[in-house]
Structure 1
Amino acid sequence: MINITSNELIGLVSSFIWPLTRILGLIAIAPPFGNTTVPVEVKLILGVMLALIVAPSMPPLAAGDPLSLTGMMILGQQLVIGVAMGFVIRVVFGGLEMAGEVIGLTMGLGFASFFDPQTQGRTNAISQFLVLVATLLFVTMNVHLSMLSALVESFTSIPISTSLTMGFSFQRLAIWGEQIFIYGMQLSLPIVAALLITNIALGILTRAAPQLNLFGIGFPITIGVGFLMVGLVLPYLMLPIETMFRQGIEAMQSLSLQPPHAVIPPR
């Protein structure tokens, strides 16, 4: 007959609930798991499976009741850590969305927008196209596995502690937010430059032939040049996007105040 004391039962529950909270925090935010089109049941099953894998390999935790004040604070701590790690990857996709917004506005597609269930806001067609391409690369390059691997490693670099210390740098997380603007401008700059040259040429043409209807010929030309440049630049975006993903994984690891190392496996 197996006898389990109340302290042992509390320890088993704690060693499962606290890692599960961190894992679910990342899954709720990080793409592609955090997409609203992914059923909640799938997210819960994935989180429980990862928690069952991680919990036995974790070092013994200090005794603590999950329903006590300290236990609830540790629960909130793990949720914040998981959400922060998911936010790091979400910033990468935010940079892609910003690049699509800049390209779309420069092309004249400011009115060609629709509701995005992921961000609960307005987005244009170019932005959604870039996000879909990045999501396919995210899966084909096994970056989602690298992200989950970094999450599992975080239980060693940012251990669960009853001391209520967060164990990661909020400053690095805040500084990482600037990458949205950096990635957005870097990816959109070639197409924006081509459209700028196109607009300058249209301006010179309008001055040379004032009888031409700029609004009648300008929009089709800028939209056509924009789509042409997107088609020409798209094959060369794979390397920059892969670099963005690698930097995102490194940023996840650098939150733990330990030297980061890339974990994206070779294809």
Structure 2
Amino acid sequence: MWVVTQAQIEVWLALFWWPFLRIMGTLLSDPVFSNRRTPVRIRVGFAIVLTLVVVPILPPMPTVPVVSPDGMLIAARELIIGLSIGFVMRLVFTAVEMAGHLAGLQMGLGFASFYDPQTSANTLAVAQLMSLLMILLFLSMNGHLMMLRVLLESLVQLPVGQLHLNAKGFQLIANYGGVIFRAGVMLSIPVIAALLITNLSIGVMTRAAPQLNVFAIGFPITLAIGFGTLYYSLPFMVPEIDHLLAEYTRSMGNILSTFGR
């Protein structure tokens, strides 16, 4: 008669539970799978399937009961690591959305905002356009495979079982948040520069001919030049976004190595 003991059940549960938490944490903060329009069943099912695939290649799990103080600490650690992997990629998406915000404000479209269910806030139309563009580029550049590779490397680089995380890793994540403003300005510089020249020209025109109504002619001109500049600058954004994705891989490698020290 085949008898299953409590110890065997705990070993089997630990074999899948802790890797599942890290994978699920990544999917909870990932900019694509964390979308509220993605059903929870799909996220949980994908996490379970991915866990079943990667468990055979993982190092041996620690002999710690899942329902114990040490087991709870390991579970919290795995969830934090997974959330960090997805959160850093979220910063890359936010940088592109920031570029859309800056461009939209310069074009005078600050009033053209819509409710974004992802952030639960009103977002400019240009920012939503840049967000959709980033999702398409992310999938076309195999960004999802890049995130899976980082996740699998983390399971080898930071094996399950340790109870600590170096606090300097969180400092690196906070420092990486500067990419939002740096990349946002770099991506929106063509629109900002073109509209700056346009506004200077409109100012000279109204100064030379005071009878011109700056509000009547200024807004259509800035709107047309802004959209035209944005249209012609889109191809030049692709290499910069590719660089951001490559920088994500390098930064996550540094963050994971710092966590493990």
TM-score normalized by structure 1?
0.93
Q: Give secondary structure in 2 for the equivalent of 1:114.
A: strand
Structure 2 letter corresponding to 1:247: E
Q: Which runs of 4+ in 1 moved over 6 A?
A: none
1:175-194 Cα distance to aligned partner (Å, 9 max, x none): 11111111101101111000
Q: Give secondary structure in 2 for the equivalent of 1:237.
A: helix
Query: Quick check: 1:177 aligned with 2:177?
Result: yes
Shift of 1:57: 1.6
Structure 1 letter corresponding to 2:219: F
Structure 1 letter corresponding to 2:164: T
After superposition, residues 14-163 of structure 1 pair within 5 angstroms as 14-161=14-161, 163=162
Structure 2 letter corresponding to 1:237: M
Distance 1:247 1:203 in 2: 41
Aligned residue pairs, count: 257
Q: Give secondary structure in 1 for the equivalent of 2:60.
A: coil
Distance 1:54 1:4 in 2: 25
1:24-45 Cα distance to aligned partner (Å, 9 max, x none): 1110111211111111111011
Structure 2 letter corresponding to 1:81: I
Shift of 1:157: 0.7
What residue ranges of structure 1 are gaps of 5+ in the alignment?
Answer: 259-267
Map of 1:262 onto structure 2: none
Percentage of matched positions with identical amino acids? 42
Distance 2:82 2:133 in 1: 26
Map of 1:230 onto structure 2: 230
- Conserved? CA contact 2:62–2:160, under 8 Å: no
Distance 1:2 1:54 in 2: 28
Map of 1:261 onto structure 2: none
Q: Give secondary structure in 1 for the equivalent of 2:122.
A: strand
Q: Give secondary structure in 2 for the equivalent of 1:18.
A: helix
Distance 1:61 1:88 in 2: 27
- Conserved? CA contact 1:7–1:63, under 8 Å: no
- Conserved? CA contact 1:89–1:249, under 8 Å: no
Distance 2:181 2:15 in 1: 39
Q: Give secondary structure in 2 for the equivalent of 1:64.
A: coil
Distance 1:115 1:109 in 2: 15
Shift of 1:203: 0.4
Shift of 1:106: 0.4
TM-score normalized by structure 2?
0.95
Map of 1:166 onto structure 2: 165
Shift of 1:165: 1.2
Q: Give secondary structure in 2 for the equivalent of 1:108.
A: coil
Distance 1:173 1:215 in 2: 44
Deviates more, 1:204-213 or 1:8-17: 8-17
Q: What's the C-alpha RMSD, in Å, of the aligned pairs?
A: 1.3
Q: Give secondary structure in 2 for the equivalent of 1:231.
A: helix
Structure 2 letter corresponding to 1:51: T
Q: Which has the higher helix share?
A: 2
1:126-184 Cα distance to aligned partner (Å, 9 max, x none): 111111111111111111011111101101111111x4112671221111111111110
Q: Give secondary structure in 1 for the equivalent of 2:257.
A: coil
Map of 2:216 onto structure 1: 216
Deviates more, 1:49-58 or 1:2-11: 2-11
1:109-141 Cα distance to aligned partner (Å, 9 max, x none): 000001111111121111111111111111111
Q: Give secondary structure in 2 for the equivalent of 1:238.
A: helix
1:178-224 Cα distance to aligned partner (Å, 9 max, x none): 11111101101111000000000000001001001100111111011
Q: Give secondary structure in 2 for the equivalent of 1:62.
A: coil
